[in-house]
Structure 1
Amino acid sequence: MNTMNPIRKTARAIGVGLLALAVPAALVAPTVPAAAASGNKLDQAVTALRAINTMTASFTQIGRGGQQLTGKMVLKRPGKIRFEYSGDVPVLIVSDGSRLTMLDYEVNQKQVWPIKNSPLGALLQPDGDINKYGTLMPTNHADVTSIRVKDPKHPEYGVLTLIFEKNASAPGGMELAGWVSVDAQNKVTKILLDNQRYGMSVSNGTFMFKDVKPRTRR
C-alpha cells in the first residue's frame, strides 16, 4: 500500500520532471505569430539571460493535478541553481555547475543528472547555445517573449520553454519570469518566478548540500 505523503509525492514527481513554468493561459495562446514578432527578440532574450550573474526569486510550482508548492530559488551563473521548498517538503534540488541533484531526505534517495542531459541544461549549461537551438514562440503580448529550446540531436534531453517579460530594471531589459519543462517521458513541470532580485553576492557554499544517509543492509 502506498502511504506517501501527497505533498512529498507531488514534490518528487515534479522534481523528476525537472521544473517548468506556470504560464497563464493568456500568455501561451497563439494569437500573435512568432514570425510577426520582432526579429531580434531571440537575441535580446539570450543577451538578457547571459547578463544575469546572480539571481534570487520566489517560485510557485504547479503539478499535474494542480497541486502547488512554493519556495526560494537561487541562481549563480554559470551552471549553479538551488530550489529549496517551503514548509515541510523534504526535497532539495541543487546544481553545482556540472550535475543536477535531487535529494529526498525522508526516504534517503538521491538522483543525479549531468546538467546537459536535463531540460534545465538550456538555462544552466555554461556553454549552452540557446541561439542555436532556440525557437521564438507565439504569445499574445508584445512585452512577453517565449523561447522554446530543444536539441534535435538529443530528444532525451527534453524541452525547455523560457518566458521573459520586458522590464527595464532587469539585466538586459528582460526579466526571466519562469519556464516550462518537458522531460524525455513527457512529464511537464511548471514554475512561476516572483520577487526577482539580481546582482547580490552569492557564496558557492549555497550550492552545497547535506547528502542523504546511505541505506544500511541487514
Structure 2
Amino acid sequence: MMLSRRLFGLGAAAVVALSAPAMAQSSLSADDQAVLRQAQTYLSGLTAAQGTFVETGPNNQRREGRFYLSRPGKMRFEYTNPAGLLVVADGNNVNRYDPRLNTFRQVPLAQTPLSTFLAREVRLDQGVRIDRVTRMDSGAYAITARDARRPNEGSVILAFAGGRLQEWTITDAQGARTRVQLTTLRPASGLASSLFTLRDPTRRPSRN
C-alpha cells in the first residue's frame, strides 16, 4: 500500500478526502439520499473493529493482511503477504514501513483519504460528489463518489451488503484500479494502543 490517494483510499473510506464545503446532492432521488444516510450512519457507528482483507492492485497483484480500526483517528493495516509491510494511522500521521526495502514514510493524516473515514463523524454529504448510487433487490448497494474539490483525481466505489461494508474500489487519475475486499469484519473492544503506534525502525539511535 503506497502513500498515495489511490492506495490510502479507505479510504480508502468513506475513503475519499472530503474536506470541501458542503455540496447538496440535488441530482439524487429520495431513495438514493436515503441510501447515503444509511451508509453514513453505518460508517459513523463503526468505531472499533478488526478483520482481514484482500487487496488486488492494477496489475492483479494480490496482497493480504489484517486490519484494526479505532476511531477517531487510528487504523492499522498489517500485511501477511508480503509479510512485514505495515501502514499505521496514529491519530496524527499515517506511517508506512516496508521491511523489504527498509523504508519508512510518514504523511499527515489530514492529507490522506483515511482522514474522513477515521473522523469522529463520517459525512457523505459534505465536500463529496456522488456520481452514482446503485441499489439491488437483495438490499445490497454501492456508492460511487469523488472529492468535490479534486474530481479529476479519481473516484471510489463503496459496496455494502448484509448490513456491512464489503469492499471498496479506488480508481486513480490515470484509471488504475485497486480493489480491497473485507473478507472478515467484526466489532472489537479493548484494542491495544500499541497497535496504532509505529516508530521509524530505520532510524539509528542517537549517540550521546
What is the TM-score when the length of structure 1 is the normalising length?
0.70
Task: Give aligned pairs, total.
Answer: 186
Residues 5-24 of structure 1: pairs in structure 2 closer than 5 A: 17-18=7-8
Q: Which runs of 5+ in 1 are unaligned?
A: 1-10, 22-33, 167-173
Pick the aligned partner of 2:155 from 150, 159, 177: 159
Mapped to 1, the partners of 2:139 and 2:40 lie a distance apart of 15
What is the TM-score when the length of structure 2 is the normalising length?
0.73
Residues 1-218 of structure 1: pairs in structure 2 closer than 5 A: 17-18=7-8, 35=29, 37=31, 39-126=33-120, 128-132=122-126, 133=128, 135=130, 136-155=132-151, 159-166=155-162, 174-183=163-172, 186-214=175-203
1:62: Cα distance to partner? 0.6
Percent identity of the aligned residues?
Answer: 25
Mapped to 1, the partners of 2:149 and 2:63 lie a distance apart of 33
1:181: Cα distance to partner? 2.2
- Maintained 8 Å contact 2:92/2:108: yes
Q: Which runs of 5+ in 2 are unaligned?
A: 12-27
Residue type at the aligned position of 1:18: F
Larger fraction in helix: 1
* Aligned-residue RMSD, C-alpha: 3.1
SS of the aligned residue for 1:138 comes to strand
SS of the aligned residue for 1:153 comes to coil
Mapped to 1, the partners of 2:99 and 2:49 lie a distance apart of 26
Residue type at the aligned position of 1:76: S
- Maintained 8 Å contact 2:64/2:82: no
Mapped to 1, the partners of 2:6 and 2:203 lie a distance apart of 20
Larger fraction in strand: 2
